[in-house]
Amino acid sequence: MIYLDNAATTKPCDEAVKAAVAALADDFGNPSSRHFVGTQAERILADARTTIAKALAADEKCIFFTSGATESNNWAIRGAAENRIKRKPKVVTTTVEHPSVKEAVKALERLGAQIVWVSPDENGEITAESIISAVDDKTCLVSCMLVNNETGYVLPVAEGFAAIKRKYPDCITHCDAVQGFMKLPIKVNALCADLISVSGHKVYAPKGVGALYIKKGVNITTFMQGGGQEGGKRSGTENIPAIAGFAAAVKKLGGNINQRYENACTLRDTLYNSINSIADDIVINSKAGALPYICSIAMVGYKSETLLNFMSERGICVSSGSACSKGKKSSVLKAFGIPDNVADSTLRVSFSCDTTPQEVEQFAAALEQARALASTGNKRK
């Protein structure tokens, strides 16, 4: 198998699996229990919180565990805005956000919020100025992703948020950092974000776990009511096995972000060099400067679904875009100004730290084979 769909999910690393299994089998206590088995689980929880905080250069008291990025994004957006929109009704976000942000923002609109959607310009760029200019003294929340999950486009979050905070210090800033976490150096102070969402299964940890950073002094509404876990902000017995796996994966990745980034650049260059040698009708949607882990390409005239099936039959896993879209047309590619005929032929190739140049070359060879077969009569018009 050649797995090149790591933006959708990553294979849990051995360290994460070992930590999760140990928490299931041995340290299975409820961290709220006061006996020694519960205390062991509580210690795992505390250590994991410290690990995630360190990865973000944050205070551990500001890290709250969730069930994943969707919950973190929903909690951040609705928790920050629902009690503020009566006084400051505007919410600013972009048209290229993940569905868990877009749908949460639309829910605010049904409650009376005025949504300002910042779109890429004619060059397919979202500038810091376009985000800043959308904000005024009636804006309660700005939510902007760090890295686009379909194209790898890196948004100017730090620059935009810094300017917004200088002019409107009471405006809450939220960053969906899921695709950038452990791939780019992220420090909460430099990002100027009051709220940051991250996810476990994008960084070689189990599914079903994520975290939300909430800056000290920033008040958002409680998302889940119950027993008062997570400092009273997010009730529900913590998923200790998944949290333990999350922390173990982050520890493994922590020391070599720059080296892994360079490796991803090598993989990206291998991919682009390989596909450029196939034909001149292969389009690279990802812009220069995009995160090298995510490459959006299109073999124009060949339907994405056909190419996906072709690859899957040969043990190669890629996607046509966000895993959450389930085959629907990409609103993100449309927002970036990518023509429909290109979008309909788009594949997303995304790398892990275990991906090899040889695997990338094998994918490119399969793409060339698909083209050759289609030219004999299987091509879809």
Catalytic residue among 144, 295, 324, 353: 324
For residue 113, give every residue at least 6 positions away whose Cβ sits within 8 Å of its Cβ, in sequence order, or none: 81, 85, 89, 90, 91, 105
* Active site annotation includes 192: no
DSSP 218-256: -----SB-SS-TGGGTB-S---HHHHHHHHHHHHHHTT-
What is d(CA 328, CA 275) in angstroms, rounded to the nearest whole number? 25
* Residue 104 and residue 174 in contact, taking contact as beta carbons nearer than 8 Å: no
At 92 the three-state DSSP class reads: strand
| Residue 171, CA distances (Å) to 5, 90, 370 in order | 36, 10, 51
Write out the two tokens for 36. Answer: 């020694």
What is d(CA 53, CA 60) in angstroms, rounded to the nearest whole number? 5
What is d(CA 45, CA 60) in angstroms, rounded to the nearest whole number? 11
The residues annotated with a catalytic role in the active site are: 324
